Amino acid sequence: WRLILCRKMAKSKFEYVRNFEVQDTCLGNCWVVVRVDGRNFHRFAEQHNFTKPNDVRALQLMNRCAQNVMEELDAICLAFGQSDEYSFVFHKKSNWYKRRASKFMTHVVSQFASSYVFYWKEYFPDVPILYPPGFDGRVVLYPSEQNLKDYLNWRQADCHINNLYNTTFWSLVHKGGLTPVQAQIRLKGTLAAEKNEILFSDFNINYNNEPLLYRKGSVLIWQKVNEVSKKRIKLPNEADEKEVEVSRWRNEIVELHCDIIGDQFWEEHPSILSDAC
């Protein structure tokens, strides 16, 4: 029994180690962005035979995971995803977990990672997942709305540039019969206009007709939807039941594949960055 008594004291004796934890509070009144990236996803894509340049199943699985993150965690106004990365925007007024950076990062990345395995079979019903994938996450703060929009613009511009390159590259390989090395040499130093030209002249592909999911990435936002359902009710003074329509407003996640560069998107969705979020 002595031993156990000592242990209890021991606990308080050891507890000083808690003082080594460092406060990592995110500066107030700044937009908090958490970006998740697949770790070694090149290898993961190879081993699970992802279609090149875009695997629609993999992209939809990413979107499904991001939706789960938005549903499970508080105060995410918007998420933007492309390729094997996803960015989550927490409102600048959010005080979730006292704005501790480690909480933002680890909650998002762990929820995303567990969702990825959980929802895998819905998108790859015939492909067993071979091993648990890893993700990497980071937190970045943006003081102004313009900084935040420019961050998102940067990611969407990145999506565009990579997708145009990859579409042309894999056309040259799959349809043009070039080896990957030859395709790389062919594209070296080409501007966007030239890649468009290659696609059009050589492969009869009008890049602007490629799916928006590939060209623009995915935006998830909350939207109030009016849900109308029919209900049978019995009024006190009447003998028979009566069917009535009941409508209620519900918050729902909507997936978009549109331009977020430019003002139109923000003008059409003024509530995204409003304080009400």
Residues 124-183 touching a copy of itself, rule: CB under 8 A, are 129, 131-144, 147, 150-151, 153-154, 157-158, 160-161, 164
Find the binding residues for a copy of itself in span 228-267 (CB under 8 A). 261
**Residue (23 or 251) nearer to a copy of itself, CB:** 23
Angle, CA 55 vertex, CA 158 and CA 53 arms, to 5°: 55
d(CA 214, CA 212): 5
**Residue (55 or 150) nearer to a copy of itself, CB:** 150
d(CA 48, CA 64): 18
> Which residue's entry shows tokens 């006292």?
98
Q: How far is the CB of 203 from a copy of itself (least distance, A)?
A: 17
Q: How far is the CB of 64 from a copy of itself (least distance, A)?
A: 10
Size of the site for a copy of itself (CB under 8 A): 77
Q: What is the DSSP string of 94-155?
A: --GGGGBHHHHHHHHHHHHHHHHHHHHHHH-TTS---S--EEEEEEEEESSHHHHHHHHHHH
Could you count the other beta carbons within 10 Å of the beta carbon of residue 176? 16
Question: What character string, x for contact with a copy of itself (CB under 8 A) and - otherwise, covers 200-229?
Answer: ------------------------------
Find the binding residues for a copy of itself in span 29-58 (CB under 8 A). 29-30, 36, 39
**Residue (10 or 185) nearer to a copy of itself, CB:** 10
Strands across the sheet containing 31-39: 134-142, 31-39, 85-90, 76-82, 218-234, 241-256
Please name the residues in contact with 104: beta carbons below 8 A apart, sequence gap of 6 or more: 26, 32, 34, 90, 96, 97, 139
Q: How far is the CB of 236 from a copy of itself (least distance, A)?
A: 40
Crossing angle of helices 192-203 and 145-174, in 10° steps, is 30
Contact 67, 73 (CB under 8 A): no
Kindly tell me which residue out of 125, 181, 188, 191 binds a copy of itself, with binding defined by CB under 8 A. Answer: 191
Q: How far is the CB of 225 from a copy of itself (least distance, A)?
A: 23
Could you count the other beta carbons within 10 Å of the beta carbon of residue 78? 24
**Residue (146 or 182) nearer to a copy of itself, CB:** 146
**Residue (103 or 186) nearer to a copy of itself, CB:** 103
Kindly tell me which residue out of 60, 114, 166, 223 binds a copy of itself, with binding defined by CB under 8 A. Answer: 114
d(CA 218, CA 81): 5
Question: What character string, x for contact with a copy of itself (CB under 8 A) and - otherwise, covers 2-31?
Answer: --xx-xx-xx-xxxxxxxxxxxxx-xxxx-
d(CA 164, CA 54): 11
**Residue (139 or 183) nearer to a copy of itself, CB:** 139
Question: What character string, x for contact with a copy of itself (CB under 8 A) and - otherwise, covers 90-109?
Answer: --x--------xxx-xxx-x
**Residue (190 or 223) nearer to a copy of itself, CB:** 190
